[in-house]
């Protein structure tokens, strides 16, 4: 209960919980979710049109489901908190540099990448705003950030029902109570594309320009 007597159930995601959850997810993640997310992932990658020679960061690469969608002419680095998910990404056989690390504190220097991909990451990490800030930090001037994820529409309240469902979804490693407007607030970067995606627009595809 808050001071107004309203009930706000939460089950906060932490890095330690996420490591445990995605260790359990890793053997079955692609089988359980790949078919569902595939249309959104494909559409998202087409929107950034990677050019030959560009450097791409997959922040929160997971099992590497985005890798087959990228052309062989680009250079790819993948970062993830889960060693087990990185093993799955490595099994895809793509030439990619895989790094164990936190998307909220990337072990990477400033201004290194032409494209930063944050697909299904901002709703997973404990602090989506910090994760986006890190993605922008490692982006070169003129670069772009790709986001495919689920968000509460900006300006709408988060209902009690959604908060209750969120207790269940966080057990599986994702939070359904984020608004993108809150995450990007104060960042000052230009949204050049924003379109509804799967599940009737619950998921969105957003492209930012540095």
What average pLDDT does the segment 138-160 reach?
A: 94
Q: Stretch 136-144: mean pLDDT, rounded? A: 96
The Cα angle at residue 200 between residues 199 and 201, in degrees rounded to 5:
95
Residue count of the chain, please give it.
210
**CATH T-level fold of 15-209:** Rossmann fold (3.40.50)
- Enter the tokens of residue 162: 């959604």
pLDDT tens digits, one per residue of 60-91: 999 999 999 999 999 999 999 999 999 999 99
- In the three-class reduction of DSSP (H, G, I as helix; E, B as strand; rest coil), residue 23 is classed as helix
pLDDT of residue 11: 65
CA dist 149 and 37 (Å) reads 10
**pLDDT-derived band of residue 184, with 50, 70 and 90 as boundaries?**
very high
Query: What is the pLDDT at residue 12?
Result: 83
Task: Give the pLDDT confidence score for residue 1 in this predicted structure.
Answer: 36
Provide the strand spans (E) within 6-112.
55-59, 75-80, 97-100
């Amino acid at each position: 209960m808050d001071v107004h007597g309203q009930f706000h159930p939460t089950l906060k995601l932490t890095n330690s919980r996420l490591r445990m959850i995605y260790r359990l997810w890793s053997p079955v993640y692609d089988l359980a979710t790949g078919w569902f997310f595939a249309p959104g992932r494909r559409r998202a990658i087409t929107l950034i049109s990677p050019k030959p020679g560009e450097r791409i960061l997959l922040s929160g690469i997971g099992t590497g489901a985005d890798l087959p969608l990228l052309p062989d002419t680009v250079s790819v680095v993948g970062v993830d908190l889960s060693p087990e998910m990185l093993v799955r990404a490595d099994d895809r056989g793509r030439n990619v540099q895989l790094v164990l690390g936190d998307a909220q504190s990337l072990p990477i220097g400033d201004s290194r990448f032409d494209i930063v991909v944050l697909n299904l990451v901002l709703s997973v990490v404990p602090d989506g705003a910090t994760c986006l800030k890190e993605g922008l930090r490692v982006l070169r001037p003129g670069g772009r950030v790709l986001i495919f994820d689920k968000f509460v529409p900006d300006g709408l309240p988060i209902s009690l029902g959604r908060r209750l469902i969120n207790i269940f979804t966080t057990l599986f490693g994702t939070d359904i109570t984020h608004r993108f407007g809150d995450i990007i607030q104060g960042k000052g970067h230009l949204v050049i594309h924003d379109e509804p995606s799967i599940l009737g627009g619950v998921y969105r595809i957003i492209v930012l320009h540095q």
